[in-house]
């Protein structure tokens, strides 16, 4: 076998660094995705790859230097720095790093990143598994990233392979130190360097350590763990489901703006602006809150008043906005709603959000955890960290069904909130055209909504708006497809064009769903939505949502989140994975059956051979009155007692040669060979005046 093929088993090679990098990258990537921050995941992955590459170069340059032996010192400094300077390092990460509530994920990730720069030997390479396992354990406490199970299984396979290769190198070193590779050379021959002597692994596999020289068993064990986990996890989950509810875990906080960006591909950090016309960003649909209420279909988190030609801005953020307190846009005043209806609600937050999802026209709300802040624009903010036990209770007002909106307020100039120079001519003409024959403001609003419903098809996979185009015009006249942001923007822009007061709103649409046993229902990421609200005299803000009656591409409708299954759950892959699992099980069963048959057919004759040799060795030790020393081969022992054996030396030498040949041969031990050795051992023991049967009994 060429030396190059043996290089990876004799010394740390590129494959070892690839395995370490993959395992570490899977851990840090999963950590970032668990809080819906892909930028953090990519930053950590890139840093680990760069660190592993530098470590590989350092090892190659210092392979014959004592400098390489200081890797543990540098690694320890990296770990200590990741912990003690976690605050400073947190600021280096994108998006401000991991939230303080799960700061451990941050310094564990930095341990992996900084540690990857000091992995020059097997010990530090393998130590990377410690923070990686801790990070996977932390992520596993929260059901926030579905692919973490697959990532952890892949990590286990990488770790098992790396451990097996490191173990093989350790055995090479032990074999060299024991004199195994110099046994045929002159006494005192220098021990070969494991690091710089290719081919030693091949020699090791031909010797007595051949069963532990390769990674086969480690890989088989890792695959068995994966298989058992896949088959046994559902059973365990069902078994503990009755008591799992007593365990309370605080989920990692997710910024409201980050949630919006992940779901709709729109909001920037801080929630002060929205960019529309971007591709929909898919993510795992997870529970956000549990709502107990009736007559409430929309929960608002953010609202925006100024159209920019590419999106929306929230300019009403301070009390000096020059709006009278009774202005509808101010949202701080008590509106004159004719014959209002009180809508009580109870919201149990299941995730941490800074901007709270509450019904429009909320008049009163309280919390059992922390404090709330009513902003100038009418949205509500959690002043401190929210936990999964946070419950919001309060009420909102809405006109009764008998109150029909007719006209809008004209107390302020709504034209100041729509720059007509930013609205394409075709959009203005369409708004004027569909409302020209309508008598009331409400009829105009309905006409605009109907026109949008007929023009745009709901599609989560709609193409991105070209950078130079207005997204509203592009959706209405060219692409004629889009999701909620396009519908809501078109409704607000067209309404304002004809003088109707409107605003762009984002939040959650509860919709129709199966209620929980206590009457509530769960709102998830898939319910994140955008809609328009128009203000009518004596009524307040009224929802106008053109998406409800619009046609939708199958599988890409409201609340469906598209086909957001992982790639390994799509197409023929699930069938292929199931078939692979079945074949693996069948293969394991076949291997066990075959091994059993082989044992029954041939017997465990290698074990019998070993027992017979022990009897032979003990007989010689009793005859000469001293034991064979540790590290002394059978041939060396016989030669050392030649004088004491006398005439029995030559028979002893011949038997030793036969035993050594059979014990260290790669061939199967034949039963007749063992029986013949047993027969020849009896006259030899008699020549030494030793009873072989007594030796065998005393040894057993």
DSSP characters for 645-691?
HGGGHHHHHHHHHHHHHHHT-SSPPPHHHHHHHHHHHHHHHHHTT--
Residue 540 has pLDDT above 90, yes or no: no
Q: How far apart are CA 153 and CA 158, in angstroms?
A: 9
Mean pLDDT of 377-400: 73
- What is the distance between the alpha carbons of residues 24 and 53, in angstroms, rounded to a whole number? 13
The pLDDT assigned to 427 comes to 93
Say whether pLDDT at 325 is over 70: no
Does 315 have pLDDT greater than 50? yes
Q: Does residue 359 sit in helix, strand or coil?
A: coil
The mean pLDDT value for 603-621 works out to 80
Average pLDDT of the residues of the chain: 75
Region 68-87 average pLDDT: 84
Tabulate helix, strand, coil % of the chain (nearest 5): 50, 10, 35
Most confident of 314-328, 565-579, 686-700: 686-700
Q: What is the pLDDT of residue 476?
A: 93
pLDDT at residue number 525:
79
Helical (H) or strand (E) element with 528:
strand 528-536
* Digit-coded pLDDT (tens) for 122-151: 888 888 988 998 888 887 766 567 678 788
Per-residue pLDDT at 44 exceeds 50:
yes
Query: Is residue 604 predicted with pLDDT exceeding 80?
Result: no
375 token code pair: 């902003």
The span from the CA of 357 to the CA of 591, in Å, is: 58
- What percentage of the chain reaches a pLDDT higher than 70? 66
Give the per-residue pLDDT at 64: 74
- Residue 533 neighbours by CB under 8 Å, 6+ apart: 303, 360, 502, 503, 505, 541, 542, 543, 544
What's the confidence (pLDDT) of residue 166? 82
pLDDT value of position 329:
47
- Taking the CA atoms of 99, 100, 105 and 107 in sequence, report the sign of the dihedral they define: positive
Say which DSSP state 411 is in. Answer: S
Question: Has residue 550 got a pLDDT over 50?
Answer: yes
User: 0.85 cut: is pTM over it?
Assistant: no
* Count of Cβ atoms closer than 10 Å to residue 493 Cβ: 28
Q: How confident is the model over 535-543, as a mean pLDDT?
A: 78
Residues 6+ apart with CB under 8 A from 73: none
Q: What is the pLDDT of residue 2?
A: 41
**Containing H/E element for 349?**
strand 340-349
- The token duo for 504 is 């762009």
pLDDT at 494: 93
What is the pLDDT at residue 82? 85
Task: Note the pLDDT of residue 309.
Answer: 87
- Residue 453's pLDDT band (boundaries 50, 70, 90)? very high
How far, in Å, CA of 32 to CA of 151, rounded? 13
- Residue 121 tokens, joined: 């030997």
Q: Which candidate, 544, 514, 542, 515, places its Cα nearest to that of 532?
A: 544
Who contacts 180 (Cβ-Cβ below 8 Å, separation ≥6)? 204, 207
Residue with tokens 């050392």: 640
Burial of 326: CB neighbours in 10 Å, binned 0-12, 13-18, 19+ = middle
Mean pLDDT for 212-221 is 54
Query: Is the distance from CB of 690 to CB of 618 less than 8 angstroms?
Result: no
Q: Which strands, in side-by-side order, build the sheet including 306-307?
A: 273-275, 311-313, 306-307
Distance CA 546, CA 456 (A): 9
Burial call 499-526: b when 16+ CB within 10 Å, e when fewer: bbbbbbbbbbbbeeeeeeeeebbbbbbb
Burial of 562 (0-12, 13-18, 19+ CB in 10 A): middle
Q: What is the pLDDT of residue 630?
A: 66
Pair of tokens at residue 400: 């009764």
pLDDT at 204: 65
Average pLDDT over residues 240-267: 42
Residue 49 in tokens:
């790859």
The mean pLDDT value for 220-242 works out to 52
Residue 611: per-residue pLDDT? 83
271 CB-contact burial (10 Å; exposed 0-12 / middle 13-18 / buried 19+): buried
Strand partners, 358: 300
Highest mean pLDDT among 128-142, 277-291, 327-341: 128-142
Which helix (DSSP H) or strand (DSSP E) does residue 541 occupy? strand 540-544
Read off the tokens for 66: 């004592």
The neighbour count for residue 139, using CB atoms within 10 Å, is 25
- Given pLDDT bands bounded at 50, 70 and 90, which one contains residue 96? confident
Tell me whether residue 629 is exposed, middle or buried, using C-beta atoms within 10 angstroms of its C-beta: 0 to 12, 13 to 18, 19 or more.
exposed
Angle at 663 (CA atoms; ends 659, 664), nearest 5 degrees: 120
Placement of tokens 């209405």 in the chain: 476
d(CA 156, CA 23): 8
Instruction: Check residue 34 and report its DSSP letter.
Output: T
Would you state the pLDDT for residue 240?
A: 42
Predicted local confidence at residue 396, as pLDDT? 84
- Judged against a pLDDT cut of 50, whether residue 255 lies above it is answered with no
Q: How far, in Å, are 71, 113, 172, 194, 628 from residue 119 at the CA level?
A: 7, 11, 20, 19, 42
Q: Ranked by mean pLDDT, which of 333-337, 398-402, 478-482 comes out on top?
A: 478-482
Provide the strand spans (E) within 169-286: 273-275
Predicted pLDDT at 455? 92
What pLDDT sits at residue 267? Answer: 38
Given this model, what pLDDT does residue 620 score? Answer: 87
Q: Would you state the pLDDT for residue 544?
A: 93
Task: Indicate the SS3 state at residue 457.
Answer: strand
Compute the distance between CA of residue 682 and CA of residue 373 in angstroms, rounded to an integer: 96
Please tell me which residue, 24 or 137, carries the higher pLDDT value: 24
Residues 54-71 have a mean pLDDT of 84
Give the phi and the psi of residue 254 in degrees, each rounded to 5.
-125, 125
Q: Does the pLDDT at position 239 exceed 60?
A: no
**In which residue are the tokens 């070209």 written?**
466
Report which listed range, 16-20, 366-370, 621-625, 627-631, is most confident: 16-20
For residue 310, the Cα-to-chain-centroid distance in whole angstroms is 34
Strands 481-482 and 457-458: parallel
Q: Let me know: does 461 contact 479? Beta carbons within 8 Å.
A: no
Distance CA 581, CA 575 (A): 10
- Region at 571 (left for phi over 0; alpha for psi -120 to 50; beta for the rest): left
Q: Is the pLDDT of residue 659 over 80?
A: yes
Confidence of residue 231 (pLDDT cuts 50, 70, 90): low
- Given a cut of 50, whether residue 177 has pLDDT beyond it is yes
The token pair that represents 548 in the structure block = 């409800």
Nearest to 109 by CA among 123, 128, 88: 128
Share of the chain above pLDDT 90, in %: 13
Cβ neighbours of residue 233 under 8 Å, at least 6 residues apart?
Answer: none
The lowest-confidence range among 91-105, 261-275, 630-644, 683-697 is: 261-275
Tokens representing 29 are 């990537």
In the chain, where are the structural domains located? 3-167+215-244, 256-569, 605-699
Buried/exposed 411-448: b ≥16 CB within 10 Å, e otherwise: ebebeebbeeeebbeebbebbeebbeeeeebbebbebb
């Amino acid at each position: 076998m060429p030396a190059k093929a043996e290089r990876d088993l004799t010394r740390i090679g590129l494959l070892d660094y690839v395995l370490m990098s993959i395992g570490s990258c899977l851990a840090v990537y999963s950590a970032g995705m668990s809080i819906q921050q892909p930028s953090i995941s990519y930053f950590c992955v890139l840093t680990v790859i760069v660190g592993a590459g530098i470590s590989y170069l350092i090892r190659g340059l210092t392979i014959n230097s004592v400098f390489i032996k200081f890797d543990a010192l540098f690694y320890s400094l990296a770990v200590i720095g990741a912990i003690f300077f976690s605050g400073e390092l947190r600021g280096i990460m994108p998006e401000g790093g991991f939230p303080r509530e799960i700061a451990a994920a941050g310094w564990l990730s930095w341990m992996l990143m900084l540690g990857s720069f000091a992995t020059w030997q097997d010990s530090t390479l393998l130590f990377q598994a410690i923070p990686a396992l801790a990070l996977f354990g932390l992520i596993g406490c929260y059901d926030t990233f579905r692919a973490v199970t697959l990532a952890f299984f892949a990590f286990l396979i990488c770790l098992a392979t790396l451990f097996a290769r490191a173990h093989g190198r350790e055995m090479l070193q032990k074999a060299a130190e024991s004199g195994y590779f110099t046994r045929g050379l002159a006494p005192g021959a220098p021990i070969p360097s494991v690091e710089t002597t290719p081919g030693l692994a091949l020699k090791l596999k031909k010797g007595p350590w051949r069963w532990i020289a390769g990674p086969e068993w480690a890989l088989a064990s890792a695959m068995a763990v994966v298989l058992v986990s896949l088959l046994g996890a559902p059973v365990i989950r069902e078994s503990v489901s009755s008591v799992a509810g007593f365990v309370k875990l605080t989920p990692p906080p997710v910024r409201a703006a980050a949630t919006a960006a992940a779901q709709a591909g729109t909001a920037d950090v801080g929630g002060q602006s929205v960019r529309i016309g971007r591709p929909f960003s898919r993510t795992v649909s997870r529970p956000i809150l549990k709502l107990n209420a009736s007559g409430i279909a929309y929960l608002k988190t953010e609202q925006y008043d100024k159209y920019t030609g590419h999106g929306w801005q929230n300019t009403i953020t301070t009390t000096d906005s020059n709006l009278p307190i009774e202005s509808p846009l101010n949202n701080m005043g008590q509106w004159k709603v004719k014959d209002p209806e009180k809508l009580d609600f109870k919201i149990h937050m299941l995730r941490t959000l800074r901007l709270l999802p509450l019904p429009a026209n909320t008049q009163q709300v309280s919390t059992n955890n922390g404090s709330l802040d009513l902003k100038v624009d009418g949205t509500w903010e959690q002043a401190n960290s929210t936990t999964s036990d946070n419950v919001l209770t309060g009420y909102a007002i809405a006109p009764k069904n008998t109150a029909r909106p007719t006209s809008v307020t004209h107390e302020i100039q709504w034209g100041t909130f729509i720059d007509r120079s930013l609205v394409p001519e075709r959009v203005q003409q369409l708004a004027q055209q569909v409302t020209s024959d309508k008598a009331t403001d409400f009829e105009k609003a309905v006409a605009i909504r109907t026109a949008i419903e007929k023009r745009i098809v709901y599609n989560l996979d709609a193409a991105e708006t070209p950078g130079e185009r207005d997204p509203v015009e592009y959706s209405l006249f060219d692409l004629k497809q889009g999701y909620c942001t396009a519908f809501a923007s078109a409704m607000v822009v067209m309404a304002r064009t004809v003088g109707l007061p409107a605003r762009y709103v984002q939040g959650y649409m509860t919709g129709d769903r199966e209620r929980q046993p206590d009457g509530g229902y769960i709102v998830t990421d898939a319910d994140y939505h955008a809609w328009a609200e128009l203000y009518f005299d004596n009524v307040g803000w009224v929802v106008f949502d053109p998406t409800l009656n619009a046609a939708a591409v199958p599988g890409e409708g409201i609340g469906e989140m598209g086909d957001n299954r992982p790639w390994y759950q799509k197409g023929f892959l699930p069938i292929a994975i199931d078939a692979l699992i079945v074949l693996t099980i069948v293969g394991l069963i076949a291997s066990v059956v075959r091994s059993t048959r082989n044992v029954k057919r041939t017997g465990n004759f290698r074990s019998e051979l070993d027992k017979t040799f022990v009897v032979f060795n003990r007989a010689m030790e009793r005859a000469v009155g001293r034991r064979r020393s540790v590290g002394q081969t059978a041939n060396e022992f016989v030669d050392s007692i030649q004088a004491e054996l006398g005439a029995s030396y030559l028979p002893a030498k011949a038997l030793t040669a036969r035993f050594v040949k059979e014990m260290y041969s790669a061939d199967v031990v034949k039963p007749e060979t063992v029986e013949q050795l047993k027969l020849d051992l009896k006259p030899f023991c008699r020549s030494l005046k030793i009873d072989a049967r007594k030796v065998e009994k005393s040894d057993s």
